[in-house]
Chain A
Amino acid sequence: MTLLLALLAAGAFAQTSDPAPLQFSDVAEEKRFHQLTAELRCVMCQNQSLADSNAQIAHDLRREVLAQMRLGKDDAQIKRYLVDRYGEFVLYRPTMQRGTLVLWFGPLALLLAGALIVWRIVRARSRQPVAEPDESQEW
């Protein structure tokens, strides 16, 4: 019964692709591969990096990234290759552009604005006279 279920389940995902894991020729290549794919986004499971995702397209794109690396392309060229096909969103680390300035500096700007407001309030408060402690109270 479980065998039948397993066979049925296998048929449901009939997408063809080479299921063999990627083989790296040396440690340096593997390290570079992991760093590079950690900075790319899985275009299907968009909250995961290309390194982490188990989606079919992620398998294919990882294979493609390794192929590009072996063709001698550097990291910037590989990223540009994927951006040309999938758009800026494929970069997990957004580039510094006019459109992403708010993304990069927005939180810092909000923090500074908040700090400025707090500073002004504290300064204004400190200018107000402090109440004399009332000696008639016990505590």
Chain B
Amino acid sequence: MNDTPASAPAPAPNAPRPPSRGALAFAVIIIGLFFIGLMALLYYGVQQSDRPDRESLPSPLIGKPAPAFDLPLLHDSNRRATNATLAGEPYVMNVWGSWCPECRVEHPVLSRFALTKRVRFVGYNLKDERGDALRWLEQYGNPYMLVVADVEGRTAIDWGIYGAPETFLVDGKGIVRWKHVGAVTDAIIAQQLIPALEKIEAER
């Protein structure tokens, strides 16, 4: 039996050359960096997908005039509110519905904020039955200065509203300055809403 020698034979003159040590080390480093880069990208992606606002659409209304609206009040359908009703001073508009569970979650936060009377706080009742909405406010408390009722949801499309809860900040000139999709928390009020309000107040 012919055993091949333990050590590898010297390569035949016509055999392909193995890559040099330097080139091999270089290739390993490049591949290693590429792999680390991919892992970093994966980690970043996982972090981003964990954000509570990952599905929020940024509003194209920021910096633009608030859409014209003309809606009846929830508490008195004979009276209506329009942009003119609210013009002159900034206001925060909160979109809610009795059918919306997250609205109940943010309600205590908003009630506390409304009590500070820092800014006018307006409710926008979206696609709701009047009786249900009134009962909801009775049960949980009414933090709103006034509530407009949009039963059909037609005006909501103009505002780019696609669900509840959503919260807008509109300045005294009627320009939309800030929007938040999803339940508002104390942190969001402190870190986003109050600074935006201060910016508006500084401009006067």
What is the interface of chain A, defined by CB distance below 8 A to chain B?
A: 12-17, 43-44, 46, 56-57, 60-61, 64, 83-90, 125, 128-132, 134
Q: Select B12's contact among A12, A57, A61, A132, beta carbons within 8 Å.
A: A132
Which chain A residue shows the least CB distance to B132? A14
Contact B57 A128 (CB under 8 A): no
Q: Does B153 sit at the interface, judged by CB under 8 A?
A: yes
- Besides A60-B157, A87-B59, 8 new A-B residue pairs in contact (Cβ under 8 A), listed by A number: A14-B99, A60-B153, A64-B157, A84-B60, A86-B60, A88-B60, A90-B57, A131-B16
How far, in angstroms, from A31 to B85 measured CA to CA in the complex?
Answer: 43
Q: Shortest Cβ distance from B66 into chain A, in angstroms? A: 12
**A87-B60 contact in complex given A14-B129, A56-B127, C-beta closer than 8 Å:** yes
**A128-B17 contact in complex given A14-B98, A87-B160, C-beta closer than 8 Å:** yes
Q: Shortest Cβ distance from B187 into chain A, in angstroms? A: 25
How far, in angstroms, from A110 to B162 measured CA to CA in the complex?
Answer: 36
How far, in angstroms, from A132 to B11 measured CA to CA in the complex?
Answer: 11
How far, in angstroms, from A5 to B173 measured CA to CA in the complex?
Answer: 50
Contact A44 B162 (CB under 8 A): yes
Q: Does B159 sit at the interface, judged by CB under 8 A?
A: yes
Q: Does B58 sit at the interface, judged by CB under 8 A?
A: yes
Q: Does B201 sit at the interface, judged by CB under 8 A?
A: no
Q: Does B134 sit at the interface, judged by CB under 8 A?
A: no
Q: Which residues of B contact A61 (CB under 8 A)?
A: 157
Q: List 23 A-B contacts (CB under 8 A).
A: A12-B99, A15-B99, A16-B151, A16-B152, A17-B152, A43-B162, A44-B162, A57-B153, A57-B163, A60-B153, A60-B156, A61-B157, A85-B61, A85-B159, A86-B60, A86-B160, A87-B57, A87-B60, A89-B57, A129-B16, A130-B14, A131-B14, A134-B12
